[in-house]
Amino acid sequence: MKQHDYLYCPDYRIITLRDRECDAGSGIDEALDRARRDVAASTGYELVILCEQDELPVSTTVRMWEKEPSLEDGVLRFELECPTGELVLGSPTGEAYALGLPAGPGRYAVAVTYSGREEARDRAQQYIRRLDDEDIDELVESWAGTERYQVHLWRTGDFFDEEEDEEEPDRSVAVGQGTILARYHLFYLADLHDHDLSVRTDHSNGLAMAQDGLVQVFTGRHTGMMRLRTEAHVRAPDTDLDRWEDVVEVSMYAPVGRVAPDSVDGGADEGFPVLTRQGPGHYRFRIHVRGRDAGVEHYLVQCWPQEPGPVTELKLTDRYGAALRTAR
């Protein structure tokens, strides 16, 4: 185990931890909303901790483990993607500290524990009232580190960049790469026609439901941007389950033949190709996901023409999907 200890006043009460190549601030507003409720949150690329106060120095300890440590129940758990393995700890407009992950680039589980928040808030209020006291510097020194956070990280897998998956891409496959906005735990693969949204949602496989002209994909987050890769094939591609947590196949009839990613009220990146390249007809959709439990969600949708068939559950391992299947 490798440990780093820091003591500083977090600007705007915010502590962040991210890989140096990940964009600071991407998805931060939503993460801050969650942190106001839960103390800490993650965008998947940046950990955000909202401190109780910013008048007194806060103690932050970062511990890097070779494997998952034994932690108490109830700790806050997240996931971080670290493409370089070089982290930056800091605050908006404040000091930043560089620290390297001994295990290198990859996907990391993160656990956050904390203590002293209420006591630090009370002492910060006392500090403000006693700014003119002669012994104020001694008080600040003695109160520094009252508010304490421990961040535990351990590597859980490789970092996958879908844009670099294929060294020699198959030119017969139309590939799309980008983001899509999920709302109400959903995004769509939708044809260009009116959809019957009165059909009762079926969560029986925990990942997707198909009807004529529409596939509903169930996301772990209620609202947020999902990373999405789409592939339109001329025939069924080989199955690759290793990097995914849940994988399901469904059949759908496309009456217009212009199926593409869409959200409840719009919000997909431009540039996703039409998935149903052969026009109107029956198609098979293989939907992959990872990260629903951790809050950083990646999806791969593969589509090809095929006669209708039953739903096929190729892999079911995440907790979110299990909860949907249990609740139905």
Domain boundaries, the chain: 2-157, 168-327
Give φ, ψ of 137 to 5 degrees: -65, -40
Report, as an integer, the average pLDDT of 233-247. Answer: 94
How many angstroms separate the CA atoms of 34 and 275, rounded? Answer: 35
The model's pLDDT over 85-108, given as tens digits with 9 standing for 90+, comes to: 999 999 887 788 999 999 999 889
Q: Which CATH architecture has domain 168-327?
A: Sandwich (2.60)
Highest mean pLDDT among 87-96, 108-117, 256-265: 108-117
What integer best gives the mean pLDDT of the chain? Answer: 88
Closest Cα to residue 232, out of 170, 180, 184? Answer: 170
Domain 2-157: CATH class, spelled out: mainly beta
Report, as an integer, the average pLDDT of 32-49. Answer: 89
The model's pLDDT over 114-144, given as tens digits with 9 standing for 90+, comes to: 999 999 999 999 999 998 888 889 989 999 9
Residue 183 is classified by DSSP as: B
Highest mean pLDDT among 34-43, 47-56, 176-185, 218-227: 47-56
Which residue type is seen at 242? D
